[in-house]
Structure 1
Amino acid sequence: MRNDHDITTAFILASGPFTGGLLWDRVGEKLREAGTEVHAATLTGTGGEGPPAEKDEGEVDLETHIADLVRLIDGAAAPEVVLVGHDYAIHPVLGAAQERVERVARIVYLDCGLPQDGDLPLALVPDTDVHALLRERPDAAVPAPAPGEWRKWGDTTGLSGADLERLSVLAAPQPGRTLTQPLRLTGALSGVPTSGILCTEAGLSIRLVQQMVTSGMPQFQALADPHVGFFELVTGHWPMLSRPDELAATLLRAAAGDGHRLSPATGRPFQGRPFLLDVPEAARERVGRVDLHLPDAATPEDPRPAILFVHGGPLPRDLVPAPRDWPLYVGYARLAASEGVVGAVVAHGLHAPSDYPAAAVDVAEALELLRADPRVDADRIALWCFSGGGLLLADLLAAPAPWLRCVAASYPVLAPLAGWIGVDPRFAPTAMLPKASRMPIVLTRVGQENPEIAATVTAFLTAAADCGAALELVDVPDAGHGFDVHDPTEETRAAVRRALAAVIGHLHG
């Protein structure tokens, strides 16, 4: 018979919004059978009764839930604690872990995001009605979904009608302040091993995450740390109901340090790689969020057309160097200046999928700043988006301004990708195409694109053909995402020059 002193690992299980500890019954049973200690968290104000509330309902916030989990860590008898955060709960899990880092053996990210310091849990909420509610009333309680509404919160593959009914029966309204209070991280967790469990029916897989790392983009490089292991479950967003035995077995493997390791990107980081063309320097001025790269000929007496370059994302807030200082965007801006056009780069705030509205405001303000500069011809402006910045085309296609002579996009993302939760539905460039009239569009498509991104481009091109959009396609068959710093070949150099010539042609046309 096993003695309690033989138990070395305690699992603390915390689930997404509305739900509580009863969701983990089967998983907890299997983990205990394997000889571990288990605590299934019911956070204050969520499913079940939860711990005694020390605050009024409207005052329960993220810090309250962090304190709930700290109490569970302190109450665990086993010397090592594995914290499992599903969906929203990864936020209080991280907050609690950094307060008791000496007790935490591992953090498991279960089908959730990768929140950073300052992120709001609301950023990972896919239901835009909730965003609207909490903008007006940050302390409102978010109603728990009815059985037919859970698909708004995640993929429901594997859940029966009875499972969905049980989810609703066990759920309680989510205190609004738990979603609108920012997570504060101190860096104390940098050495703690982590595991990621991906539920593939939601669209994210180890293969896709590896592609993100291989791209060299800085926000993904920590995922290739040897202390990070990945697992896949072929199910939807609630594996504790749809695959409880498999989830329990996976958690045991994670606690043991198993899991697929990702290969790190080779060579220079993306943000340090040189632009594929040698271009002359140009006079550079920084005005707020906008950097202006000016041709010698640009004067108030001879204002020049301008191109606003919009970097991709989402990107971390504290990224060094910032995107407007990357050789990629500086290179494009200087290339424009070398052709007698003002090249401008905007530093916009796309740090999470829910930040598209804020980033759109930054871009709109940058366009106005650019048009107000006396060295710029206010009636001849183009906008050029890259990668995840492609969704920002939606507003400009929906209501084309007469002074906007062209929009361009290089290897764009034109619909939210798997795991991009909380994107405002207005950022749908494909749906906006019929409103774009004859706005010229120059799109650079790469043949070696990530399949998920490529599908968004294919859908956009099909819609453009259906509505007769004025689209010019620059195809680069042998190039991949970010080719303008990855693949300096004659083909890719020619593609960049061809795309720029098309944009400038529309500016002068």
Structure 2
Amino acid sequence: MAEFVLVAGAWLGSSAWDEVLPPLRAAGHGTHPLTLSGLADKRDVPAGQQTHVQDIVDEIEGRDLRDVVLVGHSYAGIPVGQAAERIGDRLTRVVFVDSEVPVDGGSFASGWWQGQATFEAQIAANGGYWAPLDVADFEGQDLTDEQIARLVAASTPHPGATLTEPAVLSRPLGELPTTYVKCLLDGPEPNDTVAKLLTSEHWRLVTMATGHWPMFSQPAELARVLLAEAA
């Protein structure tokens, strides 16, 4: 049986996975949804990019987890990809869910579609945090009003240092056994970095006909995808 370690994207803590966990547990797998430092109930804990990497490594090594399927959504793909390299043979597979992936020396901010300076200015203007989205920002993402309300209620400001500090990779990410889940309503194609990685024999692509937050919009289908990757 696998041990699923699940890390949600910006603004969100472990509760983001609440509706995904029951099918994984029913199939006999271990589940370890993780709240990163500086978010949700850990919002008062100072955090940088490497803090988040260490949060994930500590969860896995502290619990002596083996056969780990390490799941990262959105922003969390950046620390998850780094942590995956550091846990050695404890790792069975990485699953990136519509996520960013780490680039050695790069950050979340450096890949921002409006430019790094614009993104960093937003953070500076908000006291060093990335402000959560509001209700209107979730339109067109296959979410019901109730699901959007849950998302908004679960969100807390995201510590800016985790988004601007560089990732550190010790070997090519394409060497890791990896599945990339592309949520098609958030764009039909993976970004260029992911597309290049998908040419690796160790990577494979799965698509979902939903928006960027499938743990809210299609939790049962996301659980089915994850179970297939643990087989």
| TM-score computed with the length of structure 1 as normaliser | 0.42
Displacement, 1:253? 1.1
Aligned to 1:270: none
Q: Structure 2, unaligned stretches of length 5 or more?
A: none
Aligned to 1:173: 157
Asked which structure has the greater CA Rg, the reply is 1
Instruction: Pick closer, same or farther for the CA change 1:76–1:204 going to 2, 3 Å.
Output: farther
Aligned to 1:230: 205
Displacement, 1:192? 2.1
For the pair 1:93 / 2:80, whether they are aligned, the reply is yes
RMSD: 2.6
Displacement, 1:147? 1.9
Residues 229 and 254 of structure 1 are in contact (CA less than 8 Å); yes or no, is this contact kept in structure 2?
no
Residues 4 and 71 of structure 2 are in contact (CA less than 8 Å); yes or no, is this contact kept in structure 1?
yes
Instruction: Pick closer, same or farther for the CA change 1:185–1:225 going to 2, 3 Å.
Output: same
For the pair 1:143 / 2:131, whether they are aligned, the reply is yes
Equivalence map 1:79-478=2 (5 Å): 79-125=66-112, 130-134=119-123, 136=124, 140-150=128-138, 156-187=140-171, 189-205=173-189, 220-256=195-231
Any idea what SS the aligned residue of 2:11 has? coil
Displacement, 1:74? 1.4
CA distance in 2, matches of 1:44, 1:50: 5
Instruction: Pick closer, same or farther for the CA change 1:219–1:40 going to 2, 3 Å.
Output: closer
Equivalence map 1:58-69=2 (5 Å): 60-69=47-56
Displacement, 1:157? 2.1
Post-superposition Cα deviations, 1:176-231, rounded to whole Å, max 9, x if no partner, equal 101110111110755320001111112225xx88xx8xxxxx98454223321211
Instruction: Pick closer, same or farther for the CA change 1:103–1:219 going to 2, 3 Å.
Output: closer
CA distance in 2, matches of 1:239, 1:64: 26
Residues 71 and 97 of structure 2 are in contact (CA less than 8 Å); yes or no, is this contact kept in structure 1?
yes
Displacement, 1:99? 1.9
CA distance in 2, matches of 1:125, 1:168: 22
Equivalence map 1:42-81=2 (5 Å): 42-46=35-39, 48-50=40-42, 53=45, 55=46, 60-76=47-63, 78-81=65-68
Residues 79 and 102 of structure 2 are in contact (CA less than 8 Å); yes or no, is this contact kept in structure 1?
no
CA distance in 1, matches of 2:179, 2:145: 31
Instruction: Pick closer, same or farther for the CA change 1:130–1:233 going to 2, 3 Å.
Output: same
Instruction: Pick closer, same or farther for the CA change 1:77–1:114 going to 2, 3 Å.
Output: closer
Residues 81 and 101 of structure 2 are in contact (CA less than 8 Å); yes or no, is this contact kept in structure 1?
no
Any idea what SS the aligned residue of 2:92 has? strand
CA distance in 2, matches of 1:12, 1:162: 26
Aligned residue identity for 1:178: T
Residues 90 and 109 of structure 1 are in contact (CA less than 8 Å); yes or no, is this contact kept in structure 2?
yes
| TM-score computed with the length of structure 2 as normaliser | 0.88
Aligned residue identity for 1:172: T
Displacement, 1:76? 3.9
CA distance in 2, matches of 1:100, 1:181: 21
Any idea what SS the aligned residue of 1:67 has? helix
Residues 108 and 196 of structure 1 are in contact (CA less than 8 Å); yes or no, is this contact kept in structure 2?
yes
Post-superposition Cα deviations, 1:77-107, rounded to whole Å, max 9, x if no partner, equal 5421111111100111012122212211111
Post-superposition Cα deviations, 1:28-49, rounded to whole Å, max 9, x if no partner, equal 1111111111111111111x20
Instruction: Pick closer, same or farther for the CA change 1:245–1:105 going to 2, 3 Å.
Output: same
CA distance in 1, matches of 2:84, 2:44: 22
CA distance in 1, matches of 2:186, 2:125: 30
Aligned to 2:33: 40
Displacement, 1:143? 1.8
CA distance in 2, matches of 1:52, 1:141: 12
CA distance in 1, matches of 2:225, 2:206: 7
Any idea what SS the aligned residue of 2:42 has? coil
Any idea what SS the aligned residue of 1:83 has? strand
Residues 139 and 175 of structure 1 are in contact (CA less than 8 Å); yes or no, is this contact kept in structure 2?
no
Aligned residue identity for 2:90: R
Instruction: Pick closer, same or farther for the CA change 1:92–1:114 going to 2, 3 Å.
Output: closer
What is the count of residue pairs matched by the alignment?
229
Post-superposition Cα deviations, 1:108-141, rounded to whole Å, max 9, x if no partner, equal 111123331111112344577644223x569701
Residues 10 and 77 of structure 1 are in contact (CA less than 8 Å); yes or no, is this contact kept in structure 2?
no
CA distance in 1, matches of 2:218, 2:3: 21
- More displaced 10-residue stretch of structure 1: 118-127 or 170-179: 118-127
